[in-house]
Amino acid sequence: MPRKSQTIDLARRSPRQARAVDTVEIIFEATARILQREGPAALNTNYIAERAGISVGTLYQYFPNKEAILVAMARREIETDGAAVIRAISEAEDGAADPVRMAIRAMIHAFSKRRVARRIAFETLVSQGLGNELAKSVQKIAHILGERSDRLLPGRARPVTPVSLFVITRAISGIMRAASQEESPLLGAPEFEDELVRLVQSYFAGPPA
């Protein structure tokens, strides 16, 4: 079996015991710190194990190489990002906050975390032929927006369709990814959030072409 397939398969194994989960989290944390402080050139399994305070043999029980670690980190980010946005939408629906603004704020927070480590993890996911997984959280968000459009997008003029949801959600996620990859200081600026909210509102406020 090719090495790439082995990496992908092993990266999908999920530890079930609490101790195993803790060990994986320690490995992720050590990897992220190395990437943030020293860059990808410094990353190797021996150094990750050293910084994690475990033996390299223990690390290999969970991951066969550094690429498998980065793929697993990217998958975790995709899952937690989607969950955070959906949670923000649900909490805003129950209160007085604007659900669209809260969803965008949650996305900004997610993309602002450890940008270097996040970018390299996602680049590794793509290089392993798994780039399609990046769309998972966006697809979930689009589905939620479609189901709850009457509450989330009141007073809209443009109909909420699968096409319009695809366009606006991919536009927002693309802008977020560009800001993160370019390490733009705009990502944390209030004006950046305001413009994204305005983009969504104006998109659905205008009549269909």
Lowest mean pLDDT among 12-16, 58-62, 120-124, 152-156: 12-16
Residue with tokens 């939620």: 144
Kindly give the interhelix angle for 3-11 and 66-94, rounded to the nearest 10 degrees: 40
pLDDT the model gives residue 10? 43
pLDDT the model gives residue 139? 87
CA 201 to chain centre: 23
pLDDT the model gives residue 207? 63
Integer distance in angstroms from the first to the last C-alpha of the chain? 51
Range 143-164 average pLDDT: 82
CATH (one of 3.20.20.80, 1.10.10.60, 1.10.10.410, 1.10.600.10) for 3-60 = 1.10.10.60
CA 69 to chain centre: 16
Please tell me whether the overall predicted TM-score, pTM, comes out greater than 0.85 for this model: no
Give yes or no for residue 19 having a pLDDT over 50: yes
- C-alpha closest to that of 152 among 114, 109, 204: 204
Give yes or no for residue 195 having a pLDDT over 50: yes
pLDDT the model gives residue 73? 96
Tokens of 114: 């450890």
Read off the pLDDT of residues 77-99 as tens digits, 9 standing for 90 and up: 999 988 898 899 888 877 778 88
3-state secondary structure of 60: helix
Q: What Å distances lie between residue 122 and 8, 72, 76, 95, CA to CA?
A: 14, 10, 11, 34
State the sign of the Cα–Cα–Cα–Cα dihedral 125, 21, 44, 47. Answer: positive
pLDDT the model gives residue 9? 45
Tokens of 145: 């927006």
Give CA–CA dist 134/77, Å, rounded.
Answer: 10
pLDDT the model gives residue 151? 78
